[in-house]
């Protein structure tokens, strides 16, 4: 005795028409590909709690901070801190200057604006 269910075929989709389905106008996007990529990189950098705290720390400094002073503020070890700082630099949110064996970091104008905007979300 065959208890298998009869097979049903998948219905064919109706061919598309030349008119849009809703007939409405679609506004153009205002961000071009380059600006969108920069914005996405900055948002990715800000999405990590450690990087966001680091950038906030840098924003509140009168002078650039030595990497050793930044490292002492976080539970991660120095290589991890350097990794986070590199990502902030690559996103244009922080900058640094080498002085001998030490690197000194500060928030860029974009970094300052970003922290301010993120805080406004709260």
CATH number of residue 38's parent domain: 1.10.10.10
Number of domains in the chain: 1
> Crossing angle of helices 109-120/33-46, nearest 10°?
70
pLDDT value at residue 8:
59
For 42-60, the pLDDT digits (tens) are 999 999 999 999 999 999 9
pLDDT level of residue 5 (50, 70, 90 thresholds): low
Q: Which residues contact 13 (CB under 8 A, 6 or more apart)?
A: none
The pTM of this model reads: 0.75
Structural domain including 71 reads: 34-120
Residue 51 lies in a domain: yes
Residue 22 lies in a domain: no
Residue 76 lies in a domain: yes
Residue 3 lies in a domain: no
Instruction: Note whether 96 and 82 are within 8 A (CB).
Output: no
């Amino acid at each position: 005795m065959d208890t298998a269910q009869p097979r049903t075929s998948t219905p064919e989709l109706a061919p598309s028409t030349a008119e849009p389905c809703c007939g409405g106008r679609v506004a153009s996007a205002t961000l071009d590909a380059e600006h969108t990529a920069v914005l996405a990189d900055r948002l990715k950098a800000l999405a990590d709690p450690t990087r966001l705290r680091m950038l906030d720390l840098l924003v509140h400094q009168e002078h650039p901070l030595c990497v050793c002073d930044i490292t002492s503020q976080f539970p991660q070890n120095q290589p991890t801190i350097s990794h986070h700082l590199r990502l902030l630099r690559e996103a244009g949110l922080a900058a640094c200057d080498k002085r001998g064996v030490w690197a000194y970091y500060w928030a860029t104008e974009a970094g300052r604006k970003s922290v301010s905007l993120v805080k406004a979300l709260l």
